[in-house]
Amino acid sequence: MAMNQKTKLRKFHQARWDEEIIFEMSVKGERGILVPAAESDIVGAIGDGVSAIPAGLRRKTPAALPEVNQMRVNRHYMRLSQETLGTDVNIDISQGTCTMKYSPKVQEHLCARNPGITEVHPLQDPDTLQGILEIYYKFEQFLKEISGLDCFSFQPGGGAHGVFTNASIVRAYHELRGDTKRDEVITTMFSHPCDAAGPMTAGYKVITLMPDENGYASLEALKGALSERTAAIFITNPEDTGIYNPRIEEYVQAAHAVGALCSYDQANANGMLGIARAKEAGFDLCHFNCHKTFATPHACMGPAMGAIGVREELAQFLPVPRVKFDGSKYHLDYHAPNTIGRVRSFYGNAAIAVRGYAWIMQLGADGLREVAEISVLNNNYMEKKLRAIPGVSVWYAEGKRRLEQVRYSWEKLKDATGVGTADVMRRMADYGLQHYWTSHHPWVVPEPFTLEPCESYSKDDIDEYVAVLAQISKEAHENPEFVKNSPYNLPVHKVPAPSIDEPERIAVTWRQYLKKRGKR
Partner 1 sequence: MKKKPIAYPYIPNSVPAVKAQMLKEVSARDIMELYKEIPEKLKFKGRMNLPEPILDEYSIRRHVEELLDKNANTTDYNSFLGAGCADHYVPAVCDEINGRGEFLTAYVGDSYADHGKWQALFEYASLMAELLDMDILSCPLYDGMAAAATALRMASRAVGRKKVLVAGNINPDTLSVIRNYLKGIGEPQVAIELVKFDKKSGLLNLADLKAKMTPGIAAVLIENPNYFGLIETQAQQIGKIAKQAGAAYVVSTDPISLGVVAPPAHYGATIACGDLHSLGMHQACGNGQAGFVATFDDMRYVAEFKDLMFGLTETRVEGEYGFGEVLYDRTSYGSREKGKEFTGTSTGLWAITAGVYLSLMGPKGMEEIGQVIMQKLQYAGKLIAQIPGVKVVHAGPSFKEFVLNFDNTGKTVKKINKALLKYKIFGGKDISTEFPEYGQSALYCVTEKKTKGDIDKLVAALKAVTK
Smallest CA-to-CA distance from 100 within 85, 87, 81 is with 87
Nearer to partner 1 among residue 206 and residue 219 (C-beta): 206
- Apex CA 275: angle with CA 271 and CA 281, to 5°? 105
Q: Which is nearer to partner 1, 171 or 414 (CB)?
A: 171
> Which sign does the torsion angle of CA 137, 141, 147, 148 carry?
positive
- Please report how close the Cβ of residue 373 comes to partner 1 at its closest, in angstroms: 5
In the complex, minimum distance from the CB of residue 311 to partner 1, in angstroms, rounded to a whole number? 17
Distance CA 462, CA 440 (A): 24
Distance in angstroms (rounded) separating the CA atoms of residues 439 and 420: 13
Q: 248 or 389: whose CB is closer to partner 1?
A: 248
Nearer to partner 1, 92 or 284 (CB): 92
On whether the CB atoms of residues 261 and 231 are closer than 8 A, the answer is yes
Least separation in angstroms between CB 296 and partner 1: 10
Least Å from the CB of residue 309 to partner 1 = 14
| CA–CA dist 284, 174 (Å, integer) | 13
Minimum distance between the CB of residue 468 and partner 1, rounded to whole angstroms? 13
Residue 390 or 505: the one with the smaller Cβ distance to partner 1 is 505
Shortest Å, Cβ 126 to partner 1 = 10
Measured from the CB of residue 416, what is the shortest distance to partner 1 in angstroms?
24
H or E element that contains 309: strand 306-310
Q: Which residue lies nearer to partner 1 by CB, 364 or 415?
A: 364
Amino acid at 140: E
Asked if residue 71 lies in contact with residue 30, where contact means CB atoms within 8 angstroms, the answer is no
Cβ atoms of 336 and 319 within 8 Å: the answer is: no
Q: Quick one: 220 or 494, whose CB is closer to partner 1?
A: 494
CA–CA separation, 423 and 476 (whole Å): 9
Which runs of consecutive H residues, i.e. helices, occur in 294-410?
A: 350-387
C-alpha dist (Å) from residue 25 to 2, 64, 76, 517, 519? 37, 13, 10, 19, 16
Closer by beta carbon to partner 1, 434 or else 473: 434
Residue among 407, 427, 406, 404 nearest 417 (CA): 427
Bridge partners (DSSP) of residue 110 are none
Three-class SS state of 333: strand
Could you tell me if residue 447 is left (phi over 0), alpha (psi between -120 and 50 degrees) or otherwise beta?
left
Cα 186 to Cα 267: distance, rounded to the nearest angstrom:
18
Among 143, 384, 369, 383, which Cα is nearest to 275's? 369
Pairing type for strands 184-188 and 205-209 reads parallel
Classify burial at 282, counting beta carbons within 10 Å of its beta carbon; exposed 0-12, middle 13-18, buried 19 or more: middle
Nearer to partner 1, 32 or 446 (CB): 32
Rounded least distance, CB 515 to partner 1, Å = 8
The CB-of-170 to partner 1 minimum distance in angstroms stands at 10
**Smaller CB separation from partner 1, 328 or 345:** 345
Angle at alpha carbon of residue 171, lines to 169 and 172, rounded to 5°:
65
> What one-character DSSP code corresponds to residue 451?
E
d(CA 116, CA 350): 12
Please, which residue, 49 or 418, has the CB nearer to partner 1? 49
- Residue 452 CA to residue 98 CA, distance in Å, equals 8
Closest CB to partner 1 among residues 7, 128: 128
